[in-house]
Structure 1
Amino acid sequence: MSIQDIITWFDSHHAAVLYYFGIALVLALLCTYIVNAKNISTIKYVMSFLVYAVTIPGVLALFLLLYNILFLGSSMFQLGLVTYFLPIVAMILILLILNRKIKMSKLPGFTRLSSLIIIIGISFVLLFILQRSYFGVIFLGGFTQLLLVFAVIMIVLRVAWNKFAK
């Protein structure tokens, strides 16, 4: 199974994707409605789960969208709404809803998630700059080599970030 097969599956099973993000939205609204000072220690774990549940697909969809537009030159009008745009919109909406009641920095694991997103973003920008500057022939191989270079850059950035943070 390739990455394109996974994208095609999500593109052909709209109902599953809509149910997933619909349930996440309902849970986010429910959490903000029932949270108070007495139960915040319990509810913040549910909120943390929701943040991960919508942020990981949202960030993946964002970078797939950017990859299709910037690297492949695809038109935004040819990309599926449910596959590429719904996860991004749902991520932003649910994060805004949850942020009204509790600061994201107070949720368990959010600092790790945000630093991972920053590292992935920096890696993506570096790959885009390398690809646009005709730096090498590595990108002629396709998406697999691009993912390999992306993984190496991400590991190097992670090590550099750890040394910088200490």
Structure 2
Amino acid sequence: MTLNDFYAFAASHHSQVVFYFALVPFAALLAGFMERREGHLPPWNYLYSAMLYLVAIPAVFSVGLTAYRWLFERSSIMEADLVLQIVPVISLILTVLFIRRQVSLRALPGFGRLSGLVLLIAAGLILLWGIDRTRIILFSQLPMQYLVAVFLLLLIVLRYGFKRVVG
């Protein structure tokens, strides 16, 4: 199964996608009612962390795929599949809001690495987009100090993101 096959399969089963992305925030809300001030202790912190990862990974994938399609394939925003591109992000936002009311996100295992992963993916996309847009010929027309400044800035962002992922 290719990535295109998976995307086509998900696009043809919108009801299951919406059900999944509605179930996780609902479970976070329900878990918040079930536990009382114990969200930072096991097993609640692992449950909250798992719920965050269940929606964050697809949401990051959705945002990355959307950015790729708009920046590199130059597809129109009017061709966007709202269920596959917007619903995961809304589900992530709701899940984070429900969980943050119960426990500090810093108390959850692995959550700092997730934000580092998002930063690393964003920096990689920016780097690739910059290379795609500038073409190799334009590098010779840029003043050297701008080229070095852009390279150092991207290197710092990538290193910071990598440190957050590795720990």
> Under a length normalisation based on structure 1, what TM-score does the superposition of the two structures give?
0.78
Residue pairs, 1:3-152, within 5 angstroms: 3-38=3-38, 40-41=40-41, 42-135=43-136
Counterparts in 2 of 1:121 and 1:38: CA distance versus 1, 3 Å:
closer
Larger Rg: 2
Root mean square deviation, CA, Å: 2.5
Identify the structure with bigger relative contact order (alpha carbons < 8 Å, sequence gap 6+): 2
- 8 Å CA contact retained: 2:49, 2:110: yes
Unpaired segments ≥5 residues, structure 1: 137-152
How much identity, in percent, do the aligned residues show?
Answer: 31
Query: What displacement does 1:54 show?
Result: 0.4
Deviating 4+ runs (over 3 angstroms): 157-162
> Under a length normalisation based on structure 2, what TM-score does the superposition of the two structures give?
0.78
Q: Secondary structure at the match of 1:72?
A: coil
Aligned pairs, how many? 146
Query: What displacement does 1:112 show?
Result: 1.3
Counterparts in 2 of 1:160 and 1:58: CA distance versus 1, 3 Å:
closer
Counterparts in 2 of 1:72 and 1:127: CA distance versus 1, 3 Å:
same
Whole-Å separation in 1 of the counterparts to 2:72 and 2:82: 19
Query: What displacement does 1:44 show?
Result: 1.2
Query: What displacement does 1:159 show?
Result: 9.8
